[in-house]
Structure 1
Amino acid sequence: MSSHIKSGQVILAAKDVYRSFDDGRNQVEVLKGINLEVHQGEFVAVIGASGSGKSTLLHVLGGLDRPSKGEVLLNGQRFDHLDETTRGNLRNQHLGFVYQFHHLLPEFSALENVCMPLMLRKGTEFKQVKQKAEKLLDQVGLSHRLTHKPGELSGGERQRVALARALVTEPELVLADEPTGNLDRHTAEGIFDLLTELRKEHNMAMLVVTHDESLAKSADRILQMRDGRWFEN
Structure 2
Amino acid sequence: MSNENMTNEKRQAMNSQSNIVLEAKNVHRRFDDGRNQVDVLRGLDLSVQQGEFVSVIGTSGSGKSTLLHVLGGLDTPTQGEIFLKGQRFDTLKESERGHQRNLHLGFVYQFHHLLPEFNALENVCMPLMLRQGTTFLEVKKKAEKLLEQVGLSHRMEHKPGELSGGERQRVALARALVTDPDLILADEPTGNLDRQTAQGIFSLLKELQTDRQMAMLIVTHDESLAQSADRILHMRDGAWFNAE
TM-score (norm 1): 0.96
Matched with 1:110 is 120
Structure 2 unmatched ranges of 5 or more: 1-14
Matched with 2:192 is 182
Structure 1: distance between partners of 2:139 and 2:99: 18
Structure 1: distance between partners of 2:33 and 2:166: 36
Structure 2: distance between partners of 1:48 and 1:151: 31
Deviation of 1:23 (Å): 3.0
Q: Which amino acid aligns with 1:102?
A: H
C-alpha distance after superposition, 1:196-232 (max 9, x if no partner): 0000111100000000000000001000000000011
Structure 2: distance between partners of 1:157 and 1:146: 11
Matched with 1:69 is 79
Matched with 1:134 is 144
Matches within 5 A, 1:31-46: 31-46=41-56
Deviation of 1:26 (Å): 1.4
Q: Secondary structure at the match of 1:176?
A: strand
Q: Which amino acid aligns with 1:103?
A: H
Structure 1: distance between partners of 2:136 and 2:162: 24
Structure 2: distance between partners of 1:17 and 1:10: 17
TM-score (norm 2): 0.92
- Identity of aligned pairs, percent? 75
Deviates more, 1:48-57 or 1:7-16: 7-16
C-alpha distance after superposition, 1:161-207 (max 9, x if no partner): 00000000000000000000000000000000000000011110000
Matched with 2:174 is 164
C-alpha distance after superposition, 1:46-91 (max 9, x if no partner): 0011000000000000000000000000011100010111000000
Displacement over 3 Å in runs of 4+: none
Structure 1 unmatched ranges of 5 or more: 1-5
Structure 1: distance between partners of 2:34 and 2:81: 26
Q: Secondary structure at the match of 2:117?
A: coil
Matches within 5 A, 1:1-233: 9-232=19-242, 233=244
How many residues matched? 228
CA RMSD between the two structures: 1.0
Deviation of 1:146 (Å): 0.6
Matched with 1:3 is none
Q: Which amino acid aligns with 2:212?
A: H
Structure 2: distance between partners of 1:127 and 1:76: 33
Structure 1: distance between partners of 2:73 and 2:88: 11
Deviation of 1:25 (Å): 1.0
